[in-house]
Chains A and B, each alone.
Chain A
Amino acid sequence: MANIKISANKLDELKAVCKSFNNEKGELINVLHKAQGIFGYLPAEVQEVIAKELNVSVAHVYGVVSFYSFFTMLPKGEHPVSICLGTACYVRGAEKVIDEFKRLLNINVGETTPDGKFSLACLRCVGACGLAPVVLVGEKVYGRVAPDGVKDIVAEYAK
C-alpha cells in the first residue's frame, strides 16, 4: 500500500464515480478522468481503489494510467506551466522558451519546484497555432511568448 492516505469523503466521492459508471471495467478511462479531476493526480492508492471497484487488477489500471500522457501519478504545482511543443510552436522557438523556464524555475520538465508553486510540462498542440509559441499557466493561455517574456509570466504567479 502506498503511504498516502485518502480522506474518507474523497474515498466516498471516488467510489461514487465508479458507481456512476456502473463499475463497468470498459469505463476505466472515464473513471480515471474523473478521479484525476478529484485528486489532481492518480497516486497508487487511488488506482488500487479503482481496481477494486471495477473488479480488475491493479496492474491493468496502472497499465492504462501509464500508457496515456494525460494521466499523471505526480502532483502538479499550484501553477502548472505547460509549454506547447506542437510543430507550429517548435518552429517558432518554443525550445528557447522551455530553456528559459527551466533556468528561471531551476527545475526540469516533469518536475515541481520545492515550494510546490510551479510545475513544468510540455504538451502537444493546444490548437492556438496562430499565437505560437504558446504557454499555458493553469488554464490561462499566453501567446507569442519570447524567451525574455518568461520572467514576467513567472513574476505574475510568484507572489
Chain B
Amino acid sequence: MSKFKMHILVCGGTGCHASESDMLLDNLKTIVSDKGLDGEVQVIATGCFGFCEKGPIVKIMPDNTFYTQVTPADAREIIEEHIVKGRKVTRLLYVDPENKETIADSKHMGFYKKQLRIALRNCGFIDPENIDEYIARDGYEALAKCLTEMTPQQVIEEMKKSGLRGRGGGGFSAGLKWEITSKSVSDEKYVVCNADEGDPGAFMDRSILEGDPHSVIEAMAICGYCIGAAFGLVYIRAEYPLAIDRLKIAIKQAREYGLLGSDILGTGFNFDIELRYGAGAFVCGEETALIHSMEGLRGEPTVKPPFPSVSGYYGKPTNVNNVETFANVPVIINQGAEWFASIGTEKSKGTKVFALAGKINNVGLIEVPMGTTLREVIYEIGGGIKDGKKFKAVQTGGPSGGCLTEKHLDTPIDYDNLVASGSMMGSGGMIVMDEDDCMVSMAKFYLDFTVEESCGKCAPCRIGNKRLYEILDKLTQGKGTREDIDSLRNLSHVIKDTALCGLGQTSPNPVLSTMDNFMEEYLEHVHDKKCRSGQCKALLQYIIEPENCVGCTACARNCPVNAISGERKGVHIIDQATCIKCGACLEKCKFNAVFIK
C-alpha cells in the first residue's frame, strides 16, 4: 500500500452497504479521478469497521481520520477539503457522546480503546477482493511456514499450546480436534468451515468472511495439511450473498497464485476448497446436521459418537471448525503459541468477537481479550444504554444461552465464567436489554425461534419446546397460573436432559435463566396480571388522563383504528374494545395525557 500518498477506506460491510456505501465509493472514485489524483489517492472498499451504529464509515489513512454517517453527497467535500486542502471535515467526525468532544483519530474513541483485534485484524483495513493486500499483511506466510518448516504434528502441538478453543460456541480445543482427526485413518478426509451463522442478531462470521476471506482459506489449508485432507468445504448461509461473492473471488485468486490447488508452493501438498450453501436452518450449525445438509439431505442431527472427526462427510473423517476459529490460526502460527496464550484468562485464551446489539448506543462488531468484563463491554465500548435508560439484562449465546444481569456485570468474560453464571459464550451474539423489555416475552421470543427451527427428529425438542412456548404465551396473555411456572421449570429440565442434539439441549436456557433472574416478573404476570415493562399487550390499557388532555386531537388523528373520540379542545377517550394497543397515541401526545395502566 506504499505507492499511494493517501488511502480512503470505505466500509463495504453489509450494514454500511445497506446505507448506500457503494454509491459513496463510486462518488469518491469519480471525484478522485476528476481531480487527477488517481496515482496519489487510493479509494477502496474494505470489510466491516465494526462501528455499525454510525455507518457508513470512511477512514482516511495515514492520518487515521474516522468519518461517520457519510452519505454519497459528502464525497466531494471529503476530497476537496480533506484530501486536497488537508482540512478535516469536522461535521462528519465522531463526537464523543459524553463530553461532546470531536474525535478525529479513531484510536482515541472509547469504542476502539479496549479492543484487541486478532480475528478481525484485517477487517476495515484491506480490500478483501485483492489478495495482494492480504499478502502484504503477512498473508499466507503461516501456510508457507507450516508447509516448509513444520511437520503436521508440530503444527498441531503449536495449536494445542495456544489454547485456542472453538469459537462457534462449543469451546472445544481446536488443536485437540485437529489431532483426533489427524489420527483417524482413511484414504480421504475433509476440512469443513462452518459459516452457517444462525444465531439471530449475530454477524461475526459474516463480517470476517466479508472483510478478510483469505484468513479463513489460509487456515483451512493449514488444517488440511495437519489432518491429511486435500479437500475443504465452506458451508455458508445462502442469506449472505456478499460474503459468498467475496469468498468466491478469494478462492479464485488463491488458485491463481498457486496457494490452493495441486503442489502448493512446490511442496507437493494439494488442497482445494468448494462452497456448499445452507438454506436457512438453525440446526445446521450443529456439526452432524451440517454434514447431512452438505450431502444434500435434510439437516437433521445424529447421535454422537461417532464424532465427525471419525466419521463425517460421506462417512470420512471430517474436521469442522467455525469461521472465527479459523481466522485466529494464521496469527497463532506467525506470532507463536506463547504470544496467543499470553492473552486472555487461564482457560480461555486469545480474544472473542461479539456482535453487540439491542438497546445500546454503539451497536457493532467488537473484539476483546477474554477476561474483559461485561461492564467494560457495555459501558466503555458500547457507550452505555440507549436513551439513558436503565440496564436490565444482556443475552449471550443467542437462543441457546441465557441472560446475565446487573450482578454479573463485573464477571470477566470467558467460556467457564459464562457457564457458571447460567449462560454461555455461544458464537458471540450479545443483545442488551433495558427496562422496557419484558423478560417473559424475551423467553417467549427465543422459544418461538426454537420451535420454528426444531428439526422435529426427537420428541423432547419437537413437542417439549412447543409446550414451553404455549405456556409462555399463556403467561403473556395474563392467563397463566402458579402451576404453569412449575411446569415450565420441570419441562425445561426434561428437555435439557433428553433432547438429541445441542439445539434441544440448550433451548430451555432462556426460560431457566430468565426464571432464575427475574422470577418476580413471572409472578407478576401470573398473580397481578401485570407486565411492568408494558410489552405484553393483553395486560395493558392505554388511558387518557382527563386533567392533562387539552383536546389537541393529535392522538385521535394518529390512531390507526379510530378508537379515540372527543371534541376539539375537549377531553378525549379511548374505546378499549377497538384499541389495538399500538401505542401511537402515547407517542404523539405532547401533554403527557396518555398513560399505560
A interface list, Cβ under 8 A from B: 24-30, 32-33, 63-64, 67-71, 85-92, 96, 99-100, 103, 123-132, 134, 141, 143, 147-148
Q: Are B280 and A127 in contact (CB under 8 A)?
A: no
Task: Give the distance in Å from the alpha carbon of A30 to the alpha carbon of B233 in the complex.
Answer: 14
Q: Which of B238, B437, B449 contacts A91 (CB 8 A)?
A: B437
Q: Are A30 and B431 in contact (CB under 8 A)?
A: no
Q: Are B201 and A86 in contact (CB under 8 A)?
A: yes
Decide yes or no: A132 and B203 within 8 Å by CB, A70-B279, A71-B279 being known contacts. no
Q: Are B277 and A29 in contact (CB under 8 A)?
A: yes
Q: Are B279 and A87 in contact (CB under 8 A)?
A: no
Q: Which residue of chain A has its CB nearest to the CB of B282? A: A124
Question: Is B116 an interface residue, CB under 8 A from the partner?
Answer: no
Among the stretches B148-156, B289-297, B329-337, the one at the interface with A is B289-297
Q: Are B18 and A30 in contact (CB under 8 A)?
A: no
Q: Which residue of chain A has its CB nearest to the CB of B206? A: A127
What number of residue pairs across chains A and B have CB atoms under 8 A from each other?
136
A53 to chain B, nearest CB (A): 13
Neighbouring A residues of B280 by C-beta, 8 Å:
68-71, 124
Task: Give the distance in Å from the alpha carbon of A157 to the alpha carbon of B262 in the complex.
Answer: 51
Q: Are B19 and A143 in contact (CB under 8 A)?
A: yes
Chain B, 238-293, CB within 8 A of any chain A CB:
238-240, 276-282, 293
Q: Are A87 and B431 in contact (CB under 8 A)?
A: yes
Q: Which of B207, B296, B363, B580 contacts A88 (CB 8 A)?
A: B363
Question: Is B315 an interface residue, CB under 8 A from the partner?
Answer: no
Q: Are A143 and B18 in contact (CB under 8 A)?
A: yes
For the complex of A and B, the 7 pairs showing the least CB-CB separation, nearest first, are A130-B52, A68-B279, A88-B357, A127-B203, A141-B18, A86-B200, A87-B201
Task: Give the distance in Å from the alpha carbon of A67 to the alpha carbon of B299 in the complex.
Answer: 8
Other CB < 8 Å A-B pairs besides A91-B358, A91-B431, 18 of them? A26-B295, A27-B296, A33-B279, A71-B280, A86-B201, A87-B358, A87-B431, A88-B201, A88-B431, A124-B198, A124-B280, A124-B282, A125-B202, A126-B18, A130-B363, A131-B19, A143-B18, A148-B584
Q: Which of A25, A64, A143 contacts B298 (CB 8 A)?
A: A64
Neighbouring B residues of A63 by C-beta, 8 Å:
298
Chain B, 546-586, CB within 8 A of any chain A CB:
558, 560, 580, 582-584
A6 to chain B, nearest CB (A): 22
Decide yes or no: A128 and B431 within 8 Å by CB, A33-B277, A70-B238, A99-B582 being known contacts. no
Task: Give the distance in Å from the alpha carbon of A40 to the alpha carbon of B215 in the complex.
Answer: 35
Neighbouring B residues of A125 by C-beta, 8 Å:
199-203
Q: Which of A25, A30, A87, A128 contacts B200 (CB 8 A)?
A: A87
Task: Give the distance in Å from the alpha carbon of A138 to the alpha carbon of B442 in the complex.
Answer: 29
Interface string of B12-45 (1 = CB under 8 A from A): 0011001100000000000000000000000000
Q: Are A130 and B296 in contact (CB under 8 A)?
A: no
Q: Which residue of chain B has its CB nearest to the CB of A27? A: B296
Most interface-central of A69, A70, A87 (chain B CB within 10 A): A87
A26 to chain B, nearest CB (A): 4
Most interface-central of A26, A127, A129 (chain B CB within 10 A): A127
Neighbouring A residues of B293 by C-beta, 8 Å:
29
Q: Are B14 and A26 in contact (CB under 8 A)?
A: no
Question: Is B355 an interface residue, CB under 8 A from the partner?
Answer: yes
Task: Give the distance in Å from the alpha carbon of A64 to the alpha carbon of B281 in the complex.
Answer: 11
B518 to chain A, nearest CB (A): 15
Task: Give the distance in Å from the alpha carbon of A159 to the alpha carbon of B235 in the complex.
Answer: 40
Neighbouring A residues of B278 by C-beta, 8 Å:
68, 70
Decide yes or no: A129 and B279 within 8 Å by CB, A91-B358, A92-B359 being known contacts. no
Question: Is B53 an interface residue, CB under 8 A from the partner?
Answer: yes
Neighbouring A residues of B298 by C-beta, 8 Å:
63-64, 67
Q: Which of A70, A91, A96, A132 contacts B582 (CB 8 A)?
A: A96
Q: Are A123 and B201 in contact (CB under 8 A)?
A: no
Q: Are A129 and B203 in contact (CB under 8 A)?
A: yes
A90 to chain B, nearest CB (A): 6
Neighbouring B residues of A88 by C-beta, 8 Å:
200-201, 357-358, 363, 431
A–B Cβ pairs within 8 angstroms, 28 of them: A27-B296, A28-B297, A29-B277, A29-B279, A33-B238, A63-B298, A69-B281, A70-B239, A70-B280, A71-B279, A87-B431, A87-B446, A88-B357, A90-B445, A91-B431, A91-B433, A99-B582, A103-B560, A124-B282, A124-B449, A126-B239, A127-B207, A128-B52, A129-B363, A130-B364, A131-B15, A131-B19, A134-B18
